[in-house]
Amino acid sequence: MSKPNISKAKIVIATSTDSEVELLSMGVPDTLLVALKSIKFKAEGSETVKVAIDENSFFVVAASDSAHPWGVANAVANAVRLAGKSAVEVLAPKENQDKAVFGALLGNYRAKDLDKAATSINFSKEFNKDDVKKGEKLASAVLAAIDLINSPANKIYPETFVDKALEITAPLKLKSKVLDEKALKAGGYGAILSVGSGSARPPRLLSLNYKPKGAKKHLVLVGKGITFDSGGLSLKPAASMGTMKYDMAGAASVLAAIVAIASLELKIEVTSIMCLAENMPSATATRPGDVITSLSGKTIEVTNTDAEGRLVLADGITHGLGLKPDYLVDIATLTGAISVALGGRLFGIFGDEDIVEAGLSASRSAGEDGWHLPMPAHLNEMLASEVADYANTKNGNSFGGSSIGALFLEKFAKTNSEDAPQWLHLDIAGAAWNTEGPRGVIPKGATGVGIRTLVQLAENLQ
Alpha helix stretches (DSSP H) within 222-370: 238-241, 249-263, 309-321, 337-342, 353-365
Which residue in 42, 110, 217, 236 is the catalytic one? 236
Beta strand 9-17 with 56-62: parallel, antiparallel or unpaired?
A: parallel
The CA-to-CA distance between both ends of the chain, in Å, stands at 45
Amino acid identity for residue 185 in this structure: K
Q: At what angle do helices 158-169 and 249-263 cross, to 10 degrees?
A: 10
| Cβ pair 298, 389 in contact under 8 A | yes
| Cβ pair 20, 9 in contact under 8 A | no
CA distance 448 to 145: 6
Whether 177 is catalytic is: no
Query: From residue 92, how far is each of 27, 265, 336, 366 by CA, in Å?
Result: 8, 24, 41, 20
Beta strand 390-391 with 299-302: parallel, antiparallel or unpaired?
A: parallel
CA distance 234 to 287: 8
Longest CA–CA span in the chain (Å) reads: 79
The secondary structure element, H or E, covering residue 456 is helix 451-461
Cβ-based neighbour number of residue 53 at 10 Å: 14
Whether 439 is catalytic is: no
Which residue in 134, 224, 310, 394 is the catalytic one? 310
Please name the residues in contact with 90: beta carbons below 8 A apart, sequence gap of 6 or more: 10, 11, 76, 80, 100, 101, 104, 121, 122, 123, 124, 127
Alpha helix stretches (DSSP H) within 322-461: 337-342, 353-365, 401-413, 451-461
Helix, strand or coil for residue 127?
A: coil
Residues labelled catalytic:
236, 310
